[in-house]
Amino acid sequence: MEILSENKCFGGVQGVYSHMSKISACDMTFGLFLPAEADDGPVPVLWYLSGLTCTHANAMDKSAAQGWAAEQGIAIIFPDTSPRGEGVADDEAYDLGQGAGFYVNATQSPWASHFQMWNYIIDELPGLVTKEFAIDPDRQSITGHSMGGHGALTIAMTLQDRFKSVSAFAPIAHPTMSEWGRKQLGAYLGSDESKWVGHDATLLMRDKGFDGPMLIDQGGSDQFLDLLMPEALAHAIAERRQEAVFRLHKGYDHSYFFISSFMEDHIAFHADALYG
């Protein structure tokens, strides 16, 4: 692992690190904020999964997360959204290829050799950070935005025993029925739609839900509402009687201005679960 940068931040350290990923078969970069409490021992951690076109840096730089995390004494991990670099497959469209890993393990050419983001997020990166840093593997929560909200919800509902809580900002809520989903799932996983089911938050909510608290924030003026399909997930939550708070905020869009406006709420929400 290589240290790319480490900066003092709200009494803790905001670092950026690079490592050779065996799963992704390329170098991967991630950000990690450690609060001051990490000097005394392992701290709980919140995973933040970013959306289409983002790197590790977008949420790290724009979400205003570190101050609230320092206040609560929790770490935040900002992974990249895909493999990158020479020899890694890409596409001319912004919503496929590099920057658009969609948090799945690709099985189709040319993506399969590098795009193994599901295993990277649930296996390789957690193993690395808990080995190298003062992170408590028994106290983890997860959140994300847009494509990352899709990833956070599907990962949490699949790994029920790992995460104390889950939240999402404007998640891609029903990708098997949306062009933000059908395109990527078809490219990465192939045409057999039965293999897509485990990567659809609405379908997973109908099937199993989440054994813990859930918070979802959606902007009422989000320019991508028709692609996100939040109403499908809201209906599934109500139908299942899932423990959840689903908030629609009038006038807010899909940007980091929206995310930073409600980041304090999300971090406090997760801190309650992590320390509860």
The 10s digit of each residue's pLDDT in 167-217 is: 999 999 999 999 999 999 999 999 999 999 999 999 999 999 999 999 999
The CATH number that applies at residue 171 is: 3.40.50.1820
Sheet with 26-34, strands from edge to edge, namely 2-9, 12-21, 26-34, 75-79, 43-49, 135-144, 163-169, 214-219, 245-249
CA quadruple 11, 59, 186, 203: dihedral sign:
positive
pLDDT category at 276 given cuts 50, 70, 90 is confident
Q: What is the mean pLDDT of residues 234-259?
A: 98
Q: What is the mean pLDDT of residues 15-22?
A: 98
Between vectors from CA 249 to CA 72 and to CA 77, what angle results, nearest 5°? 35
Residue 245: pLDDT above 90? yes
Positions annotated as catalytic residues are: 146, 222, 254
User: Percentage of residues in the chain with pLDDT exceeding 70?
Assistant: 100
Place of tokens 């889950």: 166
H/E element, 226 = helix 225-228
Domain count, the chain: 1
Q: What is the mean pLDDT of the chain?
A: 98
Q: Domain range holding 90?
A: 2-274
User: Percentage of residues in the chain with pLDDT exceeding 90?
Assistant: 100
Q: The whole model's pTM is what?
A: 0.98
What Rg, from alpha-carbon coordinates, does the chain have? 17
* Contact in structure between 146 and 184 (CB atoms under 8 Å): no
For residue 133, give every residue at least 6 positions away whose Cβ sits within 8 Å of its Cβ, in sequence order, or none: 32, 34, 38, 75
* Contact in structure between 27 and 56 (CB atoms under 8 Å): no
Q: What is the mean pLDDT of residues 240-245?
A: 97
